[in-house]
Amino acid sequence: MLKIKYINHILEELDVIKDMLGRNVFAVDTSRSPYALLKPVSITSVKITEGFWKMRIDAVFQNTLMSIYRKLEETDRINRFRWAARGLPIQSDKTVFPFDDTDVYKWIEACAYKLAQAPDENLEKLISQIISEIGSAQEPDGYLFTELHGKHDLRWKNLAFNHEMYTAGHLIQAAIAWYRATGDSSLLNISTKFADLITETFKPDGLRGACGHPNIEMALVELYRETGKRDYLDCAIYLVEERGRSLIRSDGERGFITVYNIFGGAEYLVDHQPFKELKEIAGHAVRALYLNCGVTDIYAEIGDKELLLTLHRLWEDMTQYKMYITGGVGSRYITESFGEPYELPNMRAYSETCAAIANFMWNWRMLGVTCDAKFTDIMERTIYNGILSGISLNGTRFFYMNPLASRGQYTRQEWFLCACCPPNIARLLTSLPGYIYSVSNEGIWMHFYTSNTSSIKFNNIDVKITVKTDFPWNEKAEILVDPSQEEKFTVFLYIPSWCDNPVVRVNKERVKATPKTYLPINRVWRSNTLIEVAFPMKVKFNIANPLLEENFGKVALSRGPLIYCFEEVDNPKVNLWNILITDEKDVKLSYLNDLSSIVGLQVNGIELIEGLRDYLYLPINELKVRSKKIKLKAIPYFAWANRGMGSMRVWIPSTKRFTILESRLRSKKEARMKVRKTKR
Amino acid sequence: MLKIKYINHILEELDVIKDMLGRNVFAVDTSRSPYALLKPVSITSVKITEGFWKMRIDAVFQNTLMSIYRKLEETDRINRFRWAARGLPIQSDKTVFPFDDTDVYKWIEACAYKLAQAPDENLEKLISQIISEIGSAQEPDGYLFTELHGKHDLRWKNLAFNHEMYTAGHLIQAAIAWYRATGDSSLLNISTKFADLITETFKPDGLRGACGHPNIEMALVELYRETGKRDYLDCAIYLVEERGRSLIRSDGERGFITVYNIFGGAEYLVDHQPFKELKEIAGHAVRALYLNCGVTDIYAEIGDKELLLTLHRLWEDMTQYKMYITGGVGSRYITESFGEPYELPNMRAYSETCAAIANFMWNWRMLGVTCDAKFTDIMERTIYNGILSGISLNGTRFFYMNPLASRGQYTRQEWFLCACCPPNIARLLTSLPGYIYSVSNEGIWMHFYTSNTSSIKFNNIDVKITVKTDFPWNEKAEILVDPSQEEKFTVFLYIPSWCDNPVVRVNKERVKATPKTYLPINRVWRSNTLIEVAFPMKVKFNIANPLLEENFGKVALSRGPLIYCFEEVDNPKVNLWNILITDEKDVKLSYLNDLSSIVGLQVNGIELIEGLRDYLYLPINELKVRSKKIKLKAIPYFAWANRGMGSMRVWIPSTKRFTILESRLRSKKEARMKVRKTKR
């Protein structure tokens, strides 16, 4: 039961929220989308008050955003606009990719979400200045792409790799966020000018083709939502329909075909089949998933069932065959692509941070048009594991690849030559309050458990919701629902898939709950109704499908939504590549001194003592093997690589997986022999 | 003991050999190389009479060579020369790579080796005609590279990717083989003209740099050996010294840096460090290994110890960390490159046929300058497994990649857009008789066991050697040594590494033999001295180093030099991805009706019955598992994919690997408890 003092504190917090701009800031605004069953709750209505996500978001607010800004300056990414404005060429070896403008745009978007929650005059001024510099780089007809500034002849010529519309998409997204957060329309005006040029250029009686890297599709739908201008939606639809028709090429660039083929040809660009004919998720992971985001957005507006069917098909393929247990996707290293089914190597996992983010973004949209908790399940898996591993605990270092095993070769970096991931994770984490709740005709949906105080409008009443929890470390959460007037509606609670025995009580009365569904609590809500949930976090030993050959005989530990890994720093005297877990029952929680407020695990295992460096292949009879019992310590995967370099593994061989089978065979045999004996 | 009738038959065979051209045909002629301890035996002196290799080489003679010729015509590769001769551009989508001339050259080389063993007037005429067409495409100054025919400005500009000198290397190799086999110097004259242009161009006071794809180095050394012209050797040395100095670039080609970086930059081209500073084998596998061949050839001529030290270092790195159990190398798929240590995926193995061939070629050279049996071991492993898998039993279909696991997606093809492998395997197999023996100051070396009748010159006497064996199916071989006069010398017999208890008898007298060495039999050899060898072929269950994570808990079967695999066609009702081997003792040889003269294996195992398609990840306690005992049939890896498409696996989980460990732990515990009880 919440203490009165705590409630008073929360009420004060709510007042702060009320005093804020009062603007609705959505990352995805489906408020008026006819086929969106869920409507968003503004980032400004939800205040994460403490605990797990508060720490993560604070790190972004306090460290990440300005750290990225410094890098944007240092690596000449803002200079690109300044140079373009003055007609100067780009002459910097720190910015070499045509899409480098987008790092600036994504950072502005992240800052906009921050400003919506925590006003910061200096930051706002800084960005206003940069927006004006961006504007100066815009060509008279609206074209804004510093890579080809002033080079009219080269526009739209290399649709495959130039990323012009991908860049426009990020400009539009930043502009909308900026406008929603601050009310300043300057960037929005710049972006609509560019969007208008695109919609006038790419249309049935205009240019054919689409952008090699999707993103513009979801940006145009969002711009339609913001401005009401139907052309933007139509253009997004057109660009989806133009895929899979071999129009995404490069005109006359020498060596293009070689590069194109190395990358994987049309499939890499998701241009190998028309969208509605796609059977399997394939190609560059971020491309494929951003495209799916755009198509889901289109579906939310026009309700084309064939689009939704295709999206379901692709989702099934991805989640059944091509996703890491962390929610990471795009396993294929060199081309950042989806692989074949079960092609999910641990150490050579690519699993780009941006791909995990795109996975989250797509599942959010799918949830919105279906209300199916299976999408929330993937969002939870992704945000707690494959996304969060992309940023260090202090928010200043990033993983581009998120491998599931390391022999010490991987470490987070402050920046990358291709720097898409840092500002992308920043914009996701700063907008996270917007992903906690939704509203539907029936009531209020709660997707994530995190301490927050929120004020959600439903049927013209204000419903104050206060959550207090130490999730994901602790299984319990207290949810206080406090409508401004008594009202009958439903509160839909997400019941996590990993919880076998969820316990939900409303005003102390038990309500039956089923994992991986939304529990609908339909009642007349009176002031200060208390929902108590407990999702027992039994440590699970997860196996992979046998067809995922590399993980055969191995287990990955999880507790709650968190996947665990074994890091060298916690197991300093152990060769992590020569261990087995021997016991799947005796698991202890283990609190780590050097990683504050993180719950570790300890399991029993054995270490094999073999001449590790002595052979590559060896007849088994020549193996001199000894083994010793050890205790193995695991930490949540997202938190690895925060204490120096070293080995790490998620999947660990387990003797159980083998001995259980043998003992069953043995006991069958014994049973048969018993039967025979009895017969005699 | 050999029957008299058989011996007479052999003597007739030897007469045939004597009647042949009498020319020495060597693939690598180290006869006069000061630092080569082993001297080659001409292909014309060795006649493989029956058995395993006879069947394989006959398939190449009868099917492969003309099948490749038809493809060379169909895919316009010979037309490239015809077009160049007439000043026409290359206009064909069947030949797109700058190095496509080399497929013609390698085919000519293969045919030359065939003609040295089996005269064929029609084939000789056909090639003479093609040689004249090649000659017509040569530019007045000697340049011969159809891709840039007549484009003087583009010559030597894109050293990284244009393959000009790589192509010249294959021209030279073909020309030397053709000259040695037929005495016709027409192609040799063409190639020396081009070689002269290269040596005049690339020299200390000339052009800097080397070819992105090595090959020219070993070709120039061989041309020096053939012609005695020192410039060729000097140029080879120069080209090796120019590597690792960032000179292998592309001048001003747009997009070059992107392509270069995707491929892996300087490392891909083995241009990241000067040769003598290389610590690890890295980069594109065929590039790296052809370079090592060239450097070993240089060492054989100049004896630079630092070169040999580096070669040893690279060899250790390769064989300890970066080689498949099949001898295949270059595991990284998209860039055909060596990976990190233990980066050896089974299903995404690249393991190009050409890389395995290059591995064989390099080990042959290392053997020649060291006499160390460890190199023969790798040659044996490679030729019986990773190379031979590259060609179908009938010789008409080829693997480019040689994966160690397949879910049915891999099948041999008649040809490839990049068609390097088919003519490469053809030239190796047609020259195989030249790899059976060597000669040193001390005597005669025997590297491979295959039925043959040979006449080897040693100290001006002729030593007739007759081998009768059903190796590798049967462990025994009879070797009849018959010198033209009594003479004291040593016969060095290779004792395979996989044989624990080799038995060697000379005239019935037992001689002690040690695996992975050359057994020196020093004696006065009299006529018809019989050596009998038996290399017991116990089936081995091989494990991989635990750091090779994907194979942890798995075994690969081998018998003699052959690695085995499990193919769907032999295990039709079994899901190969859900099996375990349970017994490592009860192995039966199994003869297969549909694969004549191939010895299969049968082992005991269990199949797990699980809902295979139902989950990607699952808590182990939710797994409903049943298992049933099965018999599993294996065939030699090289013979897979000859009976339609289907699944295949080399590495199979083994319960023993896990239960042994547990039972040891248990028995230790029991032992401790016993001790305690005794104390009481």
For residue range A611-624, what is the model confidence (pLDDT) as tens digits?
555 789 988 888 77
Residue B51: pLDDT band by 50, 70, 90 thresholds?
very high
In B186-215, where does DSSP find H-type helix? Answer: 186-201
Report whether pLDDT(B675) > 70: no
The residue type of A521 is: I
What the block records as the tokens of A293 is 């985001």
Cα distance from B564 to chain A (closest Cα, Å)?
14
Strand partners, A540: A558
The residue type of B511 is: V
Please indicate whether, in this complex, the C-beta atoms of B544 and A617 are within 8 angstroms of each other.
yes
Residues in chain B within 8 Å Cβ distance of A555: 620
Strand partners, B455: B464
Residues in chain B within 8 Å Cβ distance of A613: 320
Please indicate whether, in this complex, the C-beta atoms of B655 and A664 are within 8 angstroms of each other.
no
Residues in chain A within 8 Å Cβ distance of B333: 334
Which of A254, A542, A608 minimises the CB distance to B620?
Answer: A542
Under 8 Å CB pairs connecting chains A and B tally to 211
Which of A325, A617, A625 should one mutate to test binding to chain B, selecting the residue with the greatest count of B CBs within 10 A? A617
Cα distance from A210 to chain B (closest Cα, Å)?
22
Which of B255, B333, B405 minimises the CB distance to A549?
Answer: B405
Cα distance from B404 to chain A (closest Cα, Å)?
12
CA distance A511 to A530: 13
Average pLDDT of chain B is: 92
pLDDT of residue B16: 43
Please indicate whether, in this complex, the C-beta atoms of A345 and B340 are within 8 angstroms of each other.
no
Residues in chain B within 8 Å Cβ distance of A405: 549
pLDDT of residue B677: 55
Please indicate whether, in this complex, the C-beta atoms of A259 and B255 are within 8 angstroms of each other.
yes
3-state helix, strand, coil in chain A (%, to 5): 40, 20, 35
Give the residue among B415, B400, B411 at the shortest CA–CA distance from B75. B415
pLDDT of residue B456: 96
Q: What is the share, in percent, of chain B residues with pLDDT greater than 90?
A: 83
- Comparing alpha-carbon positions, the chain A residue that sits nearest to B348 is A343
Residue B622: pLDDT band by 50, 70, 90 thresholds?
confident
pLDDT of residue A658: 61
What the block records as the tokens of B439 is 């000669």
- Comparing alpha-carbon positions, the chain B residue that sits nearest to A611 is B545
Residues in chain B within 8 Å Cβ distance of A576: none
Residue B515: pLDDT band by 50, 70, 90 thresholds?
very high
Residues in chain A within 8 Å Cβ distance of B262: 259, 262-263, 334
Average pLDDT of B654-664? 61
- Comparing alpha-carbon positions, the chain A residue that sits nearest to B320 is A616
Please indicate whether, in this complex, the C-beta atoms of A540 and B619 are within 8 angstroms of each other.
yes
Helix (H) or strand (E) holding A57: helix A52-59
Please indicate whether, in this complex, the C-beta atoms of B546 and A608 are within 8 angstroms of each other.
yes
Dihedral sign (CA A211, A214, A217, A220): negative
Please indicate whether, in this complex, the C-beta atoms of B348 and A346 are within 8 angstroms of each other.
no
Residue A43: pLDDT band by 50, 70, 90 thresholds?
very high
Please indicate whether, in this complex, the C-beta atoms of A348 and B345 are within 8 angstroms of each other.
yes
Residue A284: pLDDT band by 50, 70, 90 thresholds?
very high
Residues in chain B within 8 Å Cβ distance of A267: none
Taking phi over 0 as left and psi of -120 to 50 as alpha, with beta for the rest, B422 belongs to: alpha
pLDDT of residue A627: 82
pLDDT tens, residue by residue, B116-157: 999 999 999 999 999 999 999 999 999 999 999 999 999 999
Which of B256, B578, B606 minimises the CB distance to A665?
Answer: B606
* pTM exceeds 0.80, yes or no: yes
CA distance A50 to A451: 6
pLDDT of residue A276: 98
Please indicate whether, in this complex, the C-beta atoms of A625 and B347 are within 8 angstroms of each other.
no
Please indicate whether, in this complex, the C-beta atoms of A661 and B548 are within 8 angstroms of each other.
no
Residue A27: pLDDT band by 50, 70, 90 thresholds?
very high
Please indicate whether, in this complex, the C-beta atoms of B552 and A553 are within 8 angstroms of each other.
yes
Average pLDDT of A653-661? 69
- 3-class DSSP string for B494-559: EECCCCCCCEEEECCEEECCCCCEEEEEEEEECCCEEEEEECCCCCEEEEECCCCHHHCCEEEEEE
Residues in chain A within 8 Å Cβ distance of B345: 345, 348, 550
Please indicate whether, in this complex, the C-beta atoms of B620 and A340 are within 8 angstroms of each other.
no
Q: What is the share, in percent, of chain A residues with pLDDT greater than 70?
A: 92
- Comparing alpha-carbon positions, the chain B residue that sits nearest to A629 is B665
- Comparing alpha-carbon positions, the chain A residue that sits nearest to B607 is A661
Burial class (CB in 10 A: 0-12, 13-18, 19+), B460: exposed
Average pLDDT of B420-439? 98
Report whether pLDDT(B18) > 70: no
Cα distance from B23 to chain A (closest Cα, Å)?
42
What CA–CA distances, in Å, run from A146 to A93, A94, A168, A214, A215?
Answer: 15, 15, 11, 19, 18
Please indicate whether, in this complex, the C-beta atoms of A616 and B580 are within 8 angstroms of each other.
no
For chain A, how far is it from start to end, CA to CA, in angstroms? 67
Q: What is the share, in percent, of chain B residues with pLDDT greater than 70?
A: 92
Report whether pLDDT(B474) > 70: yes
- Comparing alpha-carbon positions, the chain A residue that sits nearest to B339 is A348
Residues in chain B within 8 Å Cβ distance of A657: 620, 658
CA B258 to chain centre: 32
pLDDT tens, residue by residue, A354-386: 999 999 999 999 999 999 999 999 999 999 999
Please indicate whether, in this complex, the C-beta atoms of A549 and B550 are within 8 angstroms of each other.
yes
Please indicate whether, in this complex, the C-beta atoms of A258 and B259 are within 8 angstroms of each other.
yes
Report whether pLDDT(B529) > 80: yes
Cα distance from A549 to chain B (closest Cα, Å)?
7
Report whether pLDDT(A9) > 80: no
Average pLDDT of A183-196? 98
Between A216-227 and A230-241, two packed helices, what is the crossing angle to 10 degrees? 160
pLDDT tens, residue by residue, A544-600: 998 999 999 899 999 999 999 999 999 998 999 989 998 777 899 987 767 768 999
Please indicate whether, in this complex, the C-beta atoms of A662 and B582 are within 8 angstroms of each other.
yes
Which of A345, A616, A655 minimises the CB distance to B345?
Answer: A345
What CA–CA distances, in Å, run from A275 to A143, A161, B671?
Answer: 28, 20, 66
pLDDT tens, residue by residue, A524-536: 999 999 999 999 9
Please indicate whether, in this complex, the C-beta atoms of A606 and B409 are within 8 angstroms of each other.
no
pLDDT of residue B152: 95
Please indicate whether, in this complex, the C-beta atoms of A629 and B335 are within 8 angstroms of each other.
no
Report whether pLDDT(B397) > 90: yes
Please indicate whether, in this complex, the C-beta atoms of B665 and A619 are within 8 angstroms of each other.
no
Average pLDDT of A466-489? 96
Please indicate whether, in this complex, the C-beta atoms of B543 and A348 are within 8 angstroms of each other.
no
Report whether pLDDT(B678) > 70: no
Cα distance from A619 to chain B (closest Cα, Å)?
4
CA distance B209 to B162: 13
Question: Which has the minimum average pLDDT: A254-263, A607-616, A671-680, B213-222?
Answer: A671-680
Average pLDDT of B598-616? 84
Report whether pLDDT(B584) > 90: no
CB–CB of A284/A337 below 8 Å?
yes
Report whether pLDDT(B15) > 90: no
CA distance B482 to B525: 8
CB–CB of A474/A18 below 8 Å?
no
Residues in chain B within 8 Å Cβ distance of A552: 553-554, 577, 653
**Strands A461-469 and A452-458: what pairing?**
antiparallel
Helix (H) or strand (E) holding B633: strand B626-636
Helix (H) or strand (E) holding B46: strand B46-48
Cα distance from B557 to chain A (closest Cα, Å)?
9
Please indicate whether, in this complex, the C-beta atoms of B580 and A259 are within 8 angstroms of each other.
no
Residues in chain A within 8 Å Cβ distance of B618: 542-543, 545
pLDDT of residue B7: 47
Residue A3: pLDDT band by 50, 70, 90 thresholds?
very low
pLDDT of residue A675: 55
Report whether pLDDT(B593) > 80: no
Please indicate whether, in this complex, the C-beta atoms of B347 and A343 are within 8 angstroms of each other.
yes
What the block records as the tokens of B376 is 């023969």
Cα distance from B569 to chain A (closest Cα, Å)?
18
Please indicate whether, in this complex, the C-beta atoms of B553 and A656 are within 8 angstroms of each other.
no
- Comparing alpha-carbon positions, the chain B residue that sits nearest to A659 is B659
Residue identified by tokens 């029956």 is: B50
Please indicate whether, in this complex, the C-beta atoms of A553 and B661 are within 8 angstroms of each other.
no
Report whether pLDDT(A224) > 50: yes
